[in-house]
Amino acid sequence: MYYFLKRHLYLMYSLLCVIYIINLFLGNDRFTFVIALLTIPVLFVSFIAASRLFKVLGLFFVSLGGILFAISGLPISDALIYFTRNIGLIALLSMLPWMNSVVRSGRYDRRINELMKANAKNLGTLYVRSKLTTYTLVSFINLPGLTFSQQILQENLASYEKKFRNSFISQVSLRAFAVALVWSPMEIMVALSVDATGVSYFALMPWLMIFSLTMILIDLMWGRKVYGKHSYHPVFPHPPRTFSNRQIFINIIQLFTALFLFLGLVILFSHLFQLNFILSVTLAIFPFSCVWAFVMKRWKSFLAIGWKTWKMRTNHLQNFVVLFCSLAFFTNSLNATPVLGIIQEPFLQAADSPLIILIFIQFTYLLMSMIGIHPIATISVLAEVVTPLYTIIDPLSIGIVLITGALATATVGTYGVTVTITSMNTKQNPYRITLKNMPYALIYGFIGTLLAYLVLLFR
């Protein structure tokens, strides 16, 4: 029975998410309790299938949340409902594969990656091309873009010494990943920060774009200088397909045009249905992807790729289901007790020194990522702790730091998804990846904090 359920987790998750979203429009209290009752067995099955790290995190948050809930003295029925508060995040993650699939069905990923296979004068030039290529792909297809770029670089740099090759790949790909997603409306850390601070995504977006472009320029100059002295000797196991530069440029323009049209649809959904940012993005992804595929005349391939990708990815959401549900229980229990006030007190005491608070938020992310705490868990707690500061410190500044602090960990989080994937793809120790990227993560966090502080001073 368990193995049958494990192969069909996507059905359980989809049913739970659909019922949850329907009830957002109905607002029925009895239906809410039914969803809570459904969430518990789903969480139990997910826990059995989850990896060891997420089992430990889940047990930690449920145990601590249980203690806090006992202190609150609330009825047990409230505890069940607490577990459901993050189902919207599960729904968002389950819909992202459809956006990935429409990009793949249009073959944008293949065409853009041809930039990395074109002849380059030296490794400095290759670093620049690889950075921009990975940045573009990750903006639309997230983790698959990271993996795809790493595989291409592995092939092209096969003639180089392993340690040197791995260093190049981990630096260019992880750094591109961190700067690409810092402004993406489909990045879950961005969505969480928008809803946590109450600041409009469109108020945050210009500042996040400035930050992203600044970090790109810094890293491109660094990469060109450090790797420019090394000649480039590509190894192509398969002859590169030929696409004109004009065609690739048009594809990039099409991708970013599609993204801005998608943002327009998100605004429309938010306005029509009075939904938060996370749910607006969730509801907009599938219809937008379908229309995009139809316009490109890639409908059949989109459905074929989309169904397979969605089923596979949704069937492997067990780690996030355990994290989101246990974390929801913990944070809601924390809110119901005086313990939250005790934790908030040091922040309130430092309210006259906002720079210290912004720095503390950045370093909290970094330290937590070093011991295996996912940034989603960190932001969920930080969001509750800093809420009273919104009347003293501009929530826009806090939002910038919440996002940049979270994404900085993508380059150095030893137990994080991105570093783990890179470790597997390049067959190197994850701690080596962390060590190599730590200076960049610190610069990333410093500039994010500086930007947030400047916004605070001059707004």
pLDDT per position as a tens digit, 355-382:
999 999 998 898 888 877 778 888 888 8
Sign of CA dihedral 34, 39, 42, 48: negative
Residues in a beta bridge with 122:
231
Q: Mean pLDDT lowest for which of 38-42, 78-82, 411-415, 444-448?
A: 411-415
Considering only CA atoms, which of 154, 182, 169 is closest in space to residue 223? 169
Q: Has residue 213 got a pLDDT over 90?
A: yes
Q: Which residue has the higher pLDDT, 335 or 114?
A: 335
Q: What per-residue confidence (pLDDT) applies to 370?
A: 80
Show the tokens assigned to 220.
């491109």
pLDDT at 403 (0 to 100): 95
Alpha helices in 297-409 (DSSP H): 299-314, 318-335, 339-349, 354-370, 375-386, 395-408
What mean pLDDT is predicted for residues 155-172? 87
Q: Which residues contact 199 (CB under 8 A, 6 or more apart)?
A: 395, 396, 399
Cα–Cα distance for residue pair 276/273, rounded to 1 Å:
9
Whether the per-residue pLDDT at 293 is higher than 60: the answer is yes
Quick one: pLDDT band at residue 31, thresholds 50, 70, 90? Answer: confident
Per-residue pLDDT, averaged over 34-61, amounts to 90
**Mean pLDDT of all residues in the chain?**
86
Q: Mean per-residue pLDDT for 29-47?
A: 89
The listed range with the strongest mean pLDDT (110-124, 208-222, 263-277, 320-334) is 208-222
Q: What whole-number percentage of the chain has pLDDT above 90?
A: 30
Q: Where are the domains of the chain?
A: 1-82+317-337, 97-118+240-302, 120-238+350-459
**pLDDT exceeds 60 at position 239:** no
Report pLDDT for 211. Answer: 96
Query: pTM, whole model, 2 decimals?
Result: 0.86
Provide mean pLDDT across the span 282-292.
91
Which range of 145-149, 204-208, 384-388 scores highest in mean pLDDT? It is 204-208
CB-based contact 61:329 (threshold 8 Å): yes
pLDDT at 5: 67
Q: How far apart are CA 186 and CA 260, in angstroms?
A: 12
Mean pLDDT on 421-437: 84
Please give the pLDDT value at position 446.
94
From 63-72, 91-100, 333-342, the region with the lowest mean pLDDT: 333-342
CB atoms within 10 A of CB 48: 12
Arithmetic mean of pLDDT, 234-257: 67
201-227 and 430-458 are packed helices; what angle lies between their axes, rounded to 10 degrees? 130
Instruction: Classify 83 as helix, strand or coil.
Output: coil
Residue 238 has pLDDT above 60, yes or no: no
For residue 1, pLDDT beyond 70: no
Confidence band for 15, pLDDT divided at 50, 70 and 90: very high
* Residue 61 pLDDT exceeds 60: yes
- pLDDT exceeds cutoff 60 at 388: yes
Q: What pLDDT, on a 0 to 100 scale, did the predictor assign at position 107?
A: 77
> Is residue 269 pLDDT above 70, yes or no?
yes
* Of the ranges 42-46, 126-130, 238-242, the best mean pLDDT one: 42-46
Instruction: Please determine, for residue 74, whether its predicted confidence score (pLDDT) is greater than 60.
Output: yes
CA–CA gap between residue 258 and residue 266 (Å, rounded): 12
Confidence at residue 455, expressed as pLDDT on a 0 to 100 scale = 93
